[in-house]
Amino acid sequence: MREQRLFAEFASTGSLVEAVRRIRERTAGPIEVNSPYSIPELDDILGLKRSGLPRVCFASGVAGAAVGLALQWFTNAWDYPLNVGGRPLLSWPAWIPVTLELAILGAAIGGVIGLLVATRLPRLWDAAFEIEGFERVTTDRFWLGAAVRAEDAARVREDLAAAGAIRIASVPHE
């Protein structure tokens, strides 16, 4: 069956939230909301599941620490043991700083890579960019995009208008 993708522009967060509620009732399809800044309360309304990035971050942190510790042990105590200042080969207290630093480094890099993967960024093109007026989404406008069945389109448009959309555009969905 045919679907089309509707986009609506709003001037305020209030009307945006209202619009999201209405569309939710109409369609189970994915709804994308774009805003110039983060609006935490949308998460529940859109029913976004909790981000898994903290786990990614923790895991990569542990990995970083492990690498750091192993590296120091291998190079200084195992592969080429040397008498340095009469200190023991396995002088682990001296290895703490590097281990800590690499743990943090690992976590940070892991987190950011995780973010890019989760958001499927970077990307140079998105359908939304084609809509006239969409560029104000990073300044002061709020956009809502939803895929609806052709027969529902009319009613959805009404809902959006009722919610206070100041502009509604549609692009064919394939």
Q: Interface residues with another protein (CB under 8 A)?
A: 12-14, 32-40, 42-43, 46, 48, 51, 53-54, 57, 68, 71-72, 75-76, 79-80, 82-88, 91, 94-95, 97-98, 100-102, 104-105, 107-109, 111-112, 114-116, 118-119, 121-126, 128-129, 134-140
Nearest residue (CB) to another protein, 107 versus 169? 107
Strand partners, 112: none
Contact 103, 64 (CB under 8 A): yes
Angstrom CA distances, 145 to 36, 104, 119, 127, 148, stand at 15, 38, 17, 10, 10
Sign of the C-alpha dihedral computed for residues 159, 165, 169 and 173 taken in this order: negative
Q: At its nearest, how many Å lie between another protein and the CB of residue 101? A: 4
| CA 47/CA 121 separation, integer angstroms | 22
Choose between 115 and 147: whose C-beta lies nearer to another protein.
Answer: 115
Closer to another protein at the Cβ: 88 or 150? 88
